Homo-oligomer: A and B are copies of this chain.
Amino acid sequence: MLKPLGDRLVIELVKQEEKTASGIVLPDSAQEKPQEGKVIAVGTGRITESGDKVAPQVKEDDKILFSKYSGTEVKYEGRDLLILRESDVLAVIE
């Protein structure tokens, strides 16, 4: 199992189709495009400069939108995973 550190998350990638399962269609533009993923594991949260721990806002199994090109890809037990910081998460899809 991968246990992410601090404000990091492990995400399973949701393959991009023209229209995703949750109904999101990614526009065909020059702007930065978000990508969809499912949260597999959550770190314990970031530590601020005052020494306080900030609890993560996302939890396991959350479906999220995140900025493409953020995070680090890794294949683990046959799954395409991505380790990214919670600050790269744009929104939770409910």
Which A residues are closer than 8 A to B by beta carbons? 1-6, 8, 10, 23-27, 29, 31-34, 41, 44, 47-52, 54, 57-58, 65, 67, 69, 72-78, 80, 83, 86-87, 89-94
Contacts and interface: CB of A to CB of B under 8 A. Distances in A.
Contacts of A52: 50-51
Contacts of A86: 5
A27 B83 CA distance: 13
Given A50-B49, A58-B5, A74 B23 contact: no
A74 B5 contact: no
Nearest to A51: B52
B94 A1 contact: yes
Nearest to A31: B73
Contacts of A72: 31-34, 67, 90
B75 A3 contact: no
